[in-house]
């Protein structure tokens, strides 16, 4: 089959780790649809992108001065599909982006998000939820590039993995020289539910500017036993308790989804998978 490099991390590392690039079927890239969007200066917009059927896509966005965009992207592909998606955003002065991304579908997917905080005081808040089960493969590459002064970028990632799923999450905060007083924060919390999982995380921080504050943190572990115990002492079955704990873990992202029906859909999608475990 024809393979092609879809995404790469901004700085390479040991090849044996297998995280330097994501390789996907060329066909997927050929089929990919482009969407170009410009948010005019001062405007406030909300957008929803859903991937449900065999489709791949790229969304290119420019957010004008003082404009605000809330972009929600849901990937709820059927379990037998392969999928790629890409988001490229450039933020002008004082522009704001809130990106809520949910990656719960497809047999195998690769996504990449590239956000450029170009204008001074622009801000991007990214919340990502991913969930893997069965023998699914999840590949994500998120880059926040700080160019402007006093830019702010937050990347919060909540993940759950079970079955034999494999995941790579790469998250980069890249402070360019001149991005004075920029602030970047990245965190990834992964809850691992079964022993067959392979979980790879690459939290990268690059800096050519000293006048910045950058933090990243990753934690990966089992579901919190104390919480489970507490819930079970209130009469919940282990499965119910796990569902509840995981739901709580995902809530920071779920509650950002405005559409109640969609939120319910994702919630029950995950619950269903937990039950079939």
Partner 1 sequence: MAQEKTYIEDIERTLYDIKNVDKSKYKSQSGLTEDIIRDISARKNDPDWMLEFRLKSLEVYNQLSLPNWGPDLSELNMDEIVTYVQPDAKMTGSWDEVPEDIKDTFDRLGIPEAEQTSLAGVGAQYDSEVVYHSIQEDLVKQGVIYTDMETALHEHEEIVRDHFMKLVPPKDHKFAALHGAVWSGGSFVYVPEGVHVEIPLQSYFRLNAAGAGQFEHTLIIVEKNASLHFIEGCSAPKYNVTNLHAGCVELFVNDGARLRYSTIENWSRNMMNLNTKRAVVGKDGVIEWVSGSFGSHVSMLYPCSVLKGENAKCEFTGVTFASKGQNLDTGASVIHCAPHTSANISTRTISKAGGKATYRSAVKVTKNAPYAKCSVNCESLMLDDISRSDTLPTMDIEGDEADIGHEATIGRISDEAIFYLMSRGISEDEARSMIVRGFVEPIAKELPLEYAVEMNNLVNIELEGTMG
CB 173 within 8 A of CB 204: yes
Least separation in angstroms between residue 34's CB and partner 1 is: 31
Site for partner 1 in 6-25 (CB under 8 A): 11-15, 17-20
* Residue with smaller CB distance to partner 1, 194 or 268: 194
Provide φ and ψ at 165, rounded to 5°.
-70, 155
User: Residue 191 CA to chain centroid, in angstroms?
Assistant: 15
Footprint of partner 1 on residues 191-220 (CB under 8 A)?
192-195, 197-220
Please provide the distance, in angstroms rounded to a whole number, between the alpha carbons at the two ends of the chain.
32
Q: Is 177 in the site for partner 1 (CB under 8 A)?
A: yes
Which CB sits closer to partner 1, 198 or 263?
A: 198
Nearest to 130 by CA among 55, 200, 204, 31: 200
Of residues 88 and 201, the one with the C-beta less far from partner 1: 201
Q: Does 228 bind partner 1 (CB under 8 A)?
A: no
- Tell me how many residues contact partner 1 (CB under 8 A): 43
CB of 231 to partner 1, least distance (A): 19
Q: Which is nearer to partner 1, 218 or 232 (CB)?
A: 218
Residue 191 CB, nearest approach to partner 1 (Å): 9
CB nearer to partner 1: give 213 or 248: 213
CB of 20 to partner 1, least distance (A): 7
Q: Between helices 238-254 and 260-275, what is the axis angle to 10°?
A: 150
Selected from 30, 36, 135, 221, the binder of partner 1 by CB under 8 A is 221
Identity of the residue, 70 or 180, whose beta carbon is nearer to partner 1 in the bound complex: 180
The set of residues, in sequence order, having a beta carbon less than 8 Å from that of 15 and lying 6+ positions away, is none
Q: Which residues bind partner 1 (CB under 8 A)?
A: 11-15, 17-20, 175, 177-178, 180, 192-195, 197-222
């Amino acid at each position: 089959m024809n393979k092609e490099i879809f995404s790469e991390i901004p700085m390479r590392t040991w090849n044996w780790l297998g995280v330097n690039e994501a390789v996907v079927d060329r066909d997927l890239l050929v089929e990919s649809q482009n969407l170009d969007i410009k948010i005019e200066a001062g405007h406030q917009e909300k957008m929803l992108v859903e991937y449900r059927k065999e489709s791949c896509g790229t969304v290119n966005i420019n957010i004008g001065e003082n404009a605000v965009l809330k972009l929600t992207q849901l990937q709820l592909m059927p379990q037998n599909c392969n999928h790629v998606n890409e988001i490229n955003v450039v933020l002008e002065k004082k522009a704001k982006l809130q990106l809520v991304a949910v990656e719960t579908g497809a047999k195998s997917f690769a996504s990449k998000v590239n956000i450029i905080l170009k204008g001074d005081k622009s801000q991007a808040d990214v919340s990502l939820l991913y969930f893997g089960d069965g023998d699914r493969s999840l590949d994500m590459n998120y880059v926040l590039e700080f160019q402007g002064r006093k830019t702010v970028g937050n990347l919060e990632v909540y993940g759950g993995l079970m079955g034999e799923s494999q995941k790579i999450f790469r998250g980069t905060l890249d402070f360019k020289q001149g991005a004075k007083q920029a602030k970047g924060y990245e965190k990834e919390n992964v809850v691992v539910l079964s022993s067959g999982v392979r979980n790879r995380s690459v939290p990268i921080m690059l800096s050519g500017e000293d006048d910045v504050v950058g933090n990243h943190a990753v934690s990966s572990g089992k579901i919190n036993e104390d919480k489970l115990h507490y819930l079970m002492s209130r009469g919940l079955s282990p499965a119910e308790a796990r569902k509840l704990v995981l739901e709580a873990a995902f809530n920071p992202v779920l509650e950002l989804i405005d559409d109640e029906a969609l939120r319910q859909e994702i919630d029950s999608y995950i619950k269903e998978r937990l039950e079939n475990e």
